[in-house]
Chains A and B, each alone.
Chain A
Amino acid sequence: MNRILVSIKRVVDYNVRIRVKPDGTGVITDGVKMSVNPFDEIALEEALRIKEKGLAEEIVAVSIGPADCQQQLRTALAMGADRAVHVQTDAVVEPGSAAKLMLKIVEREQPMLAILGKQAIDDDCNQTGQMLAALWGRPQATFASKVEISGDTAQVTREVDAGLEVLEVDLPAVITTDLRLNEPRYVKLPDIMKAKKKPLETIDPSALGVSTVERLKAVKFDPPSQRSKGVMVKDVGELFTALRGKGLV
């Protein structure tokens, strides 16, 4: 069966103003709105579009993390994923461990594509997809802004510093999404009801034979240094004079 694996990470919503705990042990996440990582919504949307074109038959959403991740998996099911796999753990899961866990699911599900977000907006690591591709021994097309499947290859346009790069990769492959790949659909209420009946499987990391050891430990968290408040100028002339004074124009 032509299957697509999509990862769904639970993160602090992008609209939340993040604050560091006064004791420096983390950021404040109590009572904060949590959402699907925006890049993962884009990953799922792309999978849905590929399926709607008749190029895939099943979409499996995977999340790794604590019990609450099931909320985001239900959102994914409501968006249109066919079933969900939750690797449940309260441990800190570094990208390396997330990739190893994902590989186990890949080996079991044998997908034609694994689509991940290019980065999670909490830790901003930008690692997991590339690591999965390496461990799987398969191609990676990261930062994708266009994906075209034909037969057993995919042509992927990537957003790179120079502009746009196009790669051709053999399937199966890993793709990571950039923001302009697509605009995710909204979830409709009836779909939320239907999603409750879709299968959601829970697995323990130890059952997959992967230990989630931490090799890069958090020592402390600090707020970023603040820029000192500037001045308002009243017109262009004053702006020009100020910049000229600093030798900037």
Chain B
Amino acid sequence: MSKILIVAEHQGGKLNAATAKCVHCASQIAGADIHVAVFASDPASVASDAARITGVSKVITVAHAAHANPMAATIAPQLAELAQGYSHVFGPSTTFGKDLMPRVAALLDAPQASDIMAVESATRFRRPIYAGNAIITVEVVAGTQLVATVRTASFDAAQSSTSAAAIESAHPSATLPQHTRFVSVSAARSDRPDMQTAKKVVSGGRALASADNFKILYQLADRMGAAVGASRAAVDAGYAPNDMQVGQTGKIIAPELYLAFGISGAIQHLTGIKDARTIVAVNKDPEAPIFEVADYGLVGDLFQIVPELDKLIASSN
């Protein structure tokens, strides 16, 4: 039988939606017994959130001041210790999970499957390679413990349940290294929805031509209740901050609606939006590759189209 340990991701005392997506993924393994591990300086509120995810049978908390700012170097040795006896250890394919899980896998001498997008059995998984241009099915050798990251765009969050799982505290004995110190993290500055969970995303490319011009996208996004994304070219040029980058090396998202303005549609960008339900592309070049994946394409100048669309939405609300 499969026994699966999932590491919780959280911010400001709240569980991140990525954790419930990992639980959904894990619950597709038949007969899985699913536990969630919470590392925090004060894990109580996160643990009670985790205990109410359908499919979770136990929550294990590790309280330590060193976990106030989660770092792979400090969590990995403790998580590896807790992971003894589990057949699978999962984390989300966010920068938190991508940083942490391989360190855990190496300490366990276990192989890792990155970005799993589908579960075929307890030992067989599908994952994208080559920026999503091929899908590989991998099989772990029987009896081998497996570490994995879960591609969050491929799974809905598991529902919350009315009954709560048991919460236990653990005290791993692994010593915490002193060689890595947290200095700072730039505060999330926006009250817009988080791009990875937003239902709608308005995104801009190099064509925006300045950070100032991005304001027309922020205005449209606020009108629609959407998050704002950007291509790498726009981020590299300094028009948008790095956490807005969508794509192979940015965020992989699956919103219901993705609006791409002045984005050409490079493979590396398309990787990030393949799972969007509806894609709209606005580009002045009728040959732009983005039109090959768009559900609705409009050839034209974004500097005219964005304000027009904004006006239509405003007047119909």
Contact = CB atoms under 8 A, between A and B. Distances in A.
B295 A230 contact: yes
> Main SS of chain A's interface residues?
mixed
Nearest to A240: B312
B168 interface: no
Interface string B182-219: 11111111000000100010000000000000000000
A241 to B, nearest CB: 9
A215 B144 contact: yes
Interface string B111-135: 1111100000000100011111111
A35 interface: no
Interface residues of B, number: 90
A142 B185 contact: no
B315 to A, nearest CB: 10
A119 B292 CA distance: 27
B298 A232 contact: yes
Contacts of B297: 230-233
A161 B243 contact: yes
A179 B134 contact: no
A127 interface: yes
A58 B113 CA distance: 35
B305 interface: yes
A130 B72 contact: yes
Contacts of A163: 185-189, 241-243
Contact of A216 (B96, B102, B113, B134): B113
Contact of A18 (B134, B179, B188): B134
Interface string B82-96: 000000000000111
Contacts of B141: 214-217
A96 B180 contact: no
Contacts of A248: 200, 256-257, 278
Interface string B211-238: 0000000000000100000001001100
A213 to B, nearest CB: 9
Contact of A96 (B112, B136, B243, B292): B112
Interface of B: 11, 71-73, 76, 94-96, 98-107, 109-115, 124, 128-141, 144, 146, 177, 179-189, 196, 200, 224, 232, 235-236, 241-243, 248-249, 251, 256-257, 267-268, 274, 278-280, 291-300, 305, 308-309, 312-313, 316
